[in-house]
Amino acid sequence: MDCQESGECMEPFITFDISKGALTWRLLKNKFLTIITLGIYRFWGKTHVRRMFWHSIKVGGERLQYHGTGMELFLGFLIAIAILTGVFFVFGLVFGLLSVMNQTFAVVTQLANFLMLYAFWQFAYFRLWRYRLSRTSLRTIRFYLTGKGMTYMGRALMWSAITLLTLGWAYPKLVQVRADYLMNNVCYGDQSFSYKGNAGELMKMYWPAILVLQLAYGVMFYQFFAMGIYDPEVISGNQEAVDELVQDKGLLITTSSIFMTAFVVGTLLFLWARVKTFVYITNNTTLSGARFFSNLSVGKVFLILFVTVLVSALIIGAYFGLIALVVSGAASEEFIGIAMIGFFIFVFLFMDILMFLFVLVPLFRAAATSISTDNPAVFEEVAVSSRTSPKYGEGLADALDVGAF
């Protein structure tokens, strides 16, 4: 095509510069206050973190502003509680009693429960972005999201079902449908973003992941049904059942190693496709004729995610180290007890803070600063829009805790 392919005529226009010290201090403070207020403080804590985050992002030299308040989030939460308890309760009562009377209903109840949560999650995800965008301004002009949460939920549910029925092959279409509805509804002042992508292009990114993961799950189902590896008897350590399974050792080792390899490779391919999707969506989005371009590299993302793997490995290692001490009797029981408690308190208190600082922040930075445009001035000539913004916080989204920040 033209210079967009190479990004030559594109100028970077987003910077992200956050003080790690201030952020760490804020996260620690939030954790402490959340614990002593029995969880109530988290709405205000989240708001503080968001303000810091938003202010750290400069678009064309101007900072993003966050206008949300802790009280809004708290109200949204209360509303969600009032609605959710009602809905879940009536639902629980009806299905609970049905499944008590008839065992087959228990399965239906589980499925319906899962479906309801999944549907809520989709709805909440849309509402969450509506709230966040409407509370974000750049150069005093607000962003917002048009469209309806129910429509988004309906489309996402339909294509999720088709994805399930086609054993994953419709997944690129699901990604496309969700991105299409979200991105085309994002507005900035009186201008709206436009996204033109197609599922075919996304399929080119996802087919290897789908194929390899299908192999992994295929082997898993084979082990499950033909070999009985996940038989409750085997899991609970019944010697006869284990012996029977181990009889064909060769097959067990072969299938298990195929599964492990396919699962790891498939997951990596999937992550690769996710990064490529971000780039694809960015490159196919425009705002009043201005085009965007992302040079986010898969290697960079993998490097950041590798930190997660490393930290998790360290924690699991520490845990097994303690267990080894117990088994070998090298340390006194009291010492082990205290060490174990200390270990869990550490993981419980600081794990999310570490993840936030060393995974989320770098990922966000990598994604945001990878974007460039052929017209940085596009944000400078936008007029205010009279659209109204949602009144209360993220409601269902917050009650279901789908937000990362």
Partner 1 sequence: MQVEARYFDGQSSRAQHLLVSFSESGLLGESEEGIVVLNWPFEDLRDESNPPIAREVNLSIDQHSQERLIIEDVFFIQDLRDRAPKLSKRRKGPAGWWKPVVGWTVTGVVALVLLFMYGLPLLATGIAKTLPEKTRTSIGIAVEQSIINTFATRPKNKSENSDPESLESVCHDATGQKALDDLIERFIANSDADLPPVNVTVLKSKIPNAFALPGGRMVIMSALIEMADHPNAIASVLAHEFGHLEERHPMDVFVRNVGLATIFSVAFGDVSGGTILAAVGQYALGAAYSRDFEEAADKRARDLFSALDYDSRPVIELFKKLRTKYPESEYFSIFSSHPHMDERIQALKDDPTGAGRAFTDTEWKAIKFMCKEEG
Give residues in contact with partner 1 (CB under 8 A). Answer: 22, 31, 34-42, 48, 51-52, 55, 62-63, 65, 71, 74-75, 78-79, 81-82, 84-86, 88-89, 92-93, 96-97, 100-101, 137-141, 189, 348-349, 379-384, 391-392, 398-399, 401
Rounded to an integer, what distance in angstroms lies between the CA atom of residue 346 and that of residue 317? Answer: 14
CB of 38 to partner 1, least distance (A): 4
**Cβ distance to partner 1 smaller for residue 45 or 168:** 45
Our CA angle for 158, 205, 114, nearest 5°, is: 30
**Cβ distance to partner 1 smaller for residue 59 or 215:** 59
Structure tokens at 213: 């993961």
Buried b / exposed e over 269-297, threshold 16 CB at 10 Å, is bbebbebbbbbbbbbbbbbeebbbbbbbe
CB of 104 to partner 1, least distance (A): 13
In whole angstroms, how far apart are CA 157 and each of 120, 129, 211, 274?
10, 18, 23, 20
On the 0-12 / 13-18 / 19+ scale of CB atoms within 10 A, 5 is: exposed
CB of 169 to partner 1, least distance (A): 33
3-state SS, residue 390: coil
CB of 382 to partner 1, least distance (A): 4
Rounded to an integer, what distance in angstroms lies between the CA atom of residue 63 and that of residue 130? Answer: 20
3-state SS, residue 180: helix
**Cβ distance to partner 1 smaller for residue 92 or 200:** 92
**Cβ distance to partner 1 smaller for residue 22 or 323:** 22
**Cβ distance to partner 1 smaller for residue 138 or 245:** 138
**Site of tokens 């399974």:** 245
On the 0-12 / 13-18 / 19+ scale of CB atoms within 10 A, 257 is: exposed
Residue in 201, 205, 120 with CA at minimum distance from that of residue 156: 120
CB of 146 to partner 1, least distance (A): 19
Rounded to an integer, what distance in angstroms lies between the CA atom of residue 87 and that of residue 81? Answer: 10
**Cβ distance to partner 1 smaller for residue 2 or 333:** 333
63 strand-pairing partners? 58
**Cβ distance to partner 1 smaller for residue 1 or 327:** 327
CB of 363 to partner 1, least distance (A): 21
**Cβ distance to partner 1 smaller for residue 114 or 348:** 348
CB of 288 to partner 1, least distance (A): 11
Cβ–Cβ contacts within 10 Å for residue 198, how many?
13
Backbone angles phi, psi at 262, to 5 degrees: -65, -35
CB of 214 to partner 1, least distance (A): 31
In whole angstroms, how far apart are CA 172 and each of 136, 143, 158, 297?
30, 28, 13, 20
